[in-house]
Amino acid sequence: MMTTTPEAILTAAPTEDGDGVKIQRIHDFNGRLDPFLLLDELKASAREDYIGGFPPHPHRGFETLTYLIHGGLTHEDSMGNRGEVHAGEAQWMSAGRGVIHSEMPLRDSEGLHGFQVWVNLPAARKMDAPRYRDVHATEMVTSDRDGVTLKAIAGSWIGGFGTVEGPLPGIGDGAAMADVGLVPDATLAIEMKAGERLLAYVYEGSLSETLTEGRMAVWSDQDRVEMTARDGASLLLFRGMPLREPISHHGPFVMNTAEEIEQAVEDYRAGRLATPPESVA
């Protein structure tokens, strides 16, 4: 079996975020990944490369889903939430109209390997109240069939592995996420809805000579996408319907217009970003 030819293959670039955390990043705020915006891979064994974590910082207008392969993180936010997740678990946060939060590595972690995806919110929901949820390993649903292991984290997945529903009903405007493992020569088949976009990020092994570790394939408007692992592979899948709305982005704020970005910056500087609108003078 051959891998369905993607419309694009993107390569993660090294960068830093938070307090000097080393990450690999793929991002596009021009709609090529719509409804997704950004994927960070955090992978570090040296403490100085990750232990500073992500001190308090703001978000508005989108959702984040953080998923761990190794290590642990604590979460605290301006809503009063505090959570802790470990390997195989996830943290979901919908920033909505505004939240300030931190994500800090557990001090007893021997290395950190995880991912954070940014998912856009439609204009009608960008100013909703913020929400948060930890997703623990016992909630995850996994299918293991014909050399394909698929763990559904969010949304529903249909393919050669059957139908698998994640503990999160969806992220953003109904998008889905899964963690997949393939043995050598195994084929993963994903059924798609009309108009959907599918992303596959390889974090270990390879699917082909061009789709190797640290690269993301993008497919749109396919009924079915098939991927065959050349040497065995581990990958994250993301599936969602493009919003096809204007994107205005500045740092931790993703809105639809430059004026809305200016308002977000002003609200943050004035201490209003994480305050319910009805409480703002």
Read off the CATH number of the domain in which 181 is found. Answer: 2.60.120.10
Question: Per the domain annotation, does 79 fall within a domain?
Answer: yes
The mean-pLDDT minimum among 210-214, 221-225, 272-276 falls in 272-276
Q: For the chain, what is the domain count? A: 1
Contacts with 279 (C-beta within 8 Å, 6 or more apart), sequence order:
none
How far out from the chain centre does Cα 128 lie? 20
C-beta of residue 15 within 8 angstroms of C-beta of residue 221:
no
Contacts with 122 (C-beta within 8 Å, 6 or more apart), sequence order:
173, 243, 245
Question: Per the domain annotation, does 256 fall within a domain?
Answer: no
Question: Per the domain annotation, does 78 fall within a domain?
Answer: yes
Containing domain of residue 58, as a range?
Answer: 8-240
Question: Per the domain annotation, does 250 fall within a domain?
Answer: no
Looking at per-residue pLDDT, the higher value among 280 and 239 belongs to 239
Question: Per the domain annotation, does 29 fall within a domain?
Answer: yes
Residue 111: pLDDT over 90:
no
How far apart, in whole angstroms, are the C-alpha atoms of residue 53 and residue 114? Answer: 12
Question: Per the domain annotation, does 66 fall within a domain?
Answer: yes
| Partners of 171 in beta bridges | 175
Split at pLDDT 50, 70, 90, the class of 18 is: confident
Question: Per the domain annotation, does 276 fall within a domain?
Answer: no
Split at pLDDT 50, 70, 90, the class of 23 is: very high
Question: Per the domain annotation, does 263 fall within a domain?
Answer: no
pLDDT (mean) for 136-160? 95
